[in-house]
Amino acid sequence: MMKPHRRKRLGIILFIAAGLSVAIGLTLFALSQNIDLFFTPTQVAQGEVNPGDRVRIGGMVREGSVESAQDSLQVRFATTDYVHDVDVYYEGILPDLFREGQGVVVEGSIDPNGVFQASRVLAKHDENYMSPEVKAALDAAGASADNHPMQPES
Partner 1 sequence: MWTWFHRLGSPKWFYEISGRWLPWLTAAMLLFLAVGVVWALLFVPQDYQQGLTNRIMYVHVPVASISLAFFPMMAVAGTVSLVWKMKLADMVVKVAAPLGAWFTALALASGSIWGIDTWGTWWVWDGRLTSLLLQFFLLIGMISLRSALEDGDAAAKACALFSIVGSINVVVIKYSVDWWNTLHQPATNFTADPSQPNGPEIWVPLLLMVIAVYLFFIISVILSTRNEILYRERRAQWVEELVSQS
- Residues engaged in binding partner 1 (CB under 8 A): 1, 6, 9-10, 13, 16-17, 20-21, 24-25, 28, 32, 35-38, 40, 58, 93-99, 102, 105, 120-135, 137-138, 145, 149-150
Closer of 2 and 112 to partner 1 (Cβ): 2
In angstroms, give the least distance from the CB of 44 to partner 1: 14
Closer of 38 and 113 to partner 1 (Cβ): 38
Closer of 113 and 131 to partner 1 (Cβ): 131
CA distance readout (Å), 77 to 51, 63, 65, 88:
19, 9, 5, 5
Within 13 Å and on the Cβ side, how many CA atoms surround 6? Answer: 3
Closer of 29 and 112 to partner 1 (Cβ): 29
In angstroms, give the least distance from the CB of 108 to partner 1: 14
Q: How far apart are the first and last CA of the chain?
A: 52
CB 148 within 8 A of CB 82: yes
Can you list the alpha helix ranges (DSSP code H) found in 1-142?
Answer: 4-35, 41-45, 132-140
Q: How many residues does the chain have?
A: 154
In angstroms, give the least distance from the CB of 74 to partner 1: 17
